[in-house]
């Protein structure tokens, strides 16, 4: 499974990626997780199973979902509290639930 987190510049989300990877390893899951700037969305989409958007780019959610849906890709905005508190476990749960649906 490949999860991509998109935020304004891809920097703040890198810390969350580390927390998510630790959570996945703790569960014995092999998941590729990376962070990119939202400007890279269309380039990374073919390689992503799930794309999670940082709350700071919530305004892009409708446009990016419209691009992703025809390709069968799930897009969701990360909960603001989970993002702010760097709750890797909860964000991983969100991604896994999106992938399963």
SS (H, E, C) the chain: CEEEEEECCCCHHHHHHHHHHHHHHHCCCCCEEEEEEHHHHHHHHHHCCEEEECHHHHHHHHHHHHHHHHHCCEEEECCHHHHHCCCHHHHHHHHHHHHHC
Residues lower than pLDDT 50 in the chain? none
The pLDDT of residue 67 is: 96
The pLDDT of residue 13 is: 86
This prediction's pTM: 0.93
d(CA 88, CA 19): 5
Give the active site residues: 7
């Amino acid at each position: 499974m490949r999860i991509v987190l998109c935020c304004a510049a891809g920097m703040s989300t890198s810390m969350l990626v580390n927390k998510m990877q630790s959570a996945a390893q703790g569960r014995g899951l092999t998941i590729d997780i990376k962070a990119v700037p939202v400007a890279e969305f269309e380039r990374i989409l073919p390689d992503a199973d799930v794309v999670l958007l940082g709350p700071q780019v919530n305004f892009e959610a409708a446009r990016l979902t419209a691009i992703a849906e025809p390709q069968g890709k799930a897009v969701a905005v990360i909960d603001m509290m989970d993002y702010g508190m760097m709750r890797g476990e909860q964000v991983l749960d969100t991604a896994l639930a999106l992938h399963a649906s």
